[in-house]
Amino acid sequence: MQASVAIAVMGASGRMGQMLVKLVNESEAAHLVAVTERAGHDWAGRDLGECMGGAATGVTVHADPIEAIVNAQAVIDFTTPAATLAHAELTAQARAVHVIGTTGFCEDQLAQLAHAARHATIIRAGNMSLGVNLLVQITRQVAAALDADFDIEVIEAHHRHKVDAPSGTALMLGQAAAEGRGIDLAVARESGRDGLTGPRDRGHIGFSAIRGGDIVGEHDVLFAGQGERIVLRHVATDRAIFGRGALKAALWGQGKGPGEYDMLDVLGLR
């Protein structure tokens, strides 16, 4: 029987953090060894169970990530780009698997993660769900089959509290479309239209972001041609799908060598 994997959850007080704690505690293949919150947070230094409104569990909420990572075999991280970069250095030193669901990285930060992956197992995805990763594959195939006479627009909707746009998932889909077309997304990307923008540039990939209410996550990839449209769609109704994917990635990463992986690797879709 395979031993239970020791998991640390970073940023335990957030919606995803609490969801991950619940999923790890329910898992027969993993167990929770530590959680973190930023220094000065109300939860820091307290028992996790009491913070979540239940009985004491014996798991302390650490303000120092080193204390959480030192005993973990895998770290699940849905925090902020700056925090995730700091965690990446520590997980590399601890030889722990680093599962990253954080979004909003700039190119320089992604380069820093790539450097950390020379010494650590990093599994990073803008979206951890099975359905979205299948959608990424389908988007790449459809984009490859259709020429630039079909305009591509990625439309995404999320809850009012989301701080980055376009979403990490939208960028995954845009990148897949660009790869299917054989073009550079950095050159073809078009977003934030306002005012007299002029006509759309042929071959560009557009992004539109909606923020409101408690929308978990909705993503459409629109291929608009003359006289016809193709719409590929994924709707998330429960953020537990992201947590289950992250936990699956943490288990999958055990024994893997250093490198950057994503959910296509985890799901065997690469």
Residue 239 has pLDDT above 90, yes or no: no
Q: What is the rounded average pLDDT of the residues 197-211? A: 95
Residue 257 has pLDDT above 80, yes or no: yes
Matching fold, domains 5-124+239-266 and 130-236: no
Other beta carbons within 10 Å of 29 = 15
Q: What is the rounded average pLDDT of the residues 112-141? A: 94
Residue 207 has pLDDT above 80, yes or no: yes
Adjacent-strand bridge partners of 122: 98, 260
Q: Distance between CA 136 and CA 140 in Å, rounded?
A: 6
Closest CA to 246 of 12, 22, 46, 76: 76
Tens-place pLDDT, residues 18-65: 999 999 999 999 999 999 999 999 999 999 999 999 999 999 999 999
Q: Locate the domains of the chain by residue range.
A: 5-124+239-266, 130-236
| pLDDT bracket for residue 104 (50, 70, 90) | confident
**Regarding the domain with residue range 130-236, which homologous superfamily does it belong to in the CATH classification?**
Dihydrodipicolinate Reductase; domain 2 (3.30.360.10)
Closest CA to 106 of 132, 80, 139: 80
Q: What is the rounded average pLDDT of the residues 199-225? A: 96
82: left (phi over 0), alpha (psi -120 to 50) or beta: alpha
Fold of domain 5-124+239-266: Rossmann fold (3.40.50)
Cα-based distances in Å from 48 to 18, 39, 54: 10, 15, 9
Q: Any catalytic annotation for residue 62? A: no
Distance between the two ends of the chain, CA-based, in angstroms? 28
Closest CA to 6 of 247, 256, 220, 257: 247
Catalytic residue among 119, 162, 204, 256: 162
Residue count of the chain:
270
Catalytic residue among 158, 219, 234, 248: 158
Residue 91 has pLDDT above 80, yes or no: yes
Q: Any catalytic annotation for residue 162? A: yes
Q: What is the rounded average pLDDT of the residues 90-112? A: 94
What average pLDDT does the chain have?
Answer: 95
Q: Distance between CA 203 and CA 140 in Å, rounded?
A: 15
| pLDDT bracket for residue 2 (50, 70, 90) | low
Per-residue confidence (pLDDT) for residue 228, from 0 to 100: 98
Per-residue confidence (pLDDT) for residue 103, from 0 to 100: 87
Residue 1 has pLDDT above 80, yes or no: no
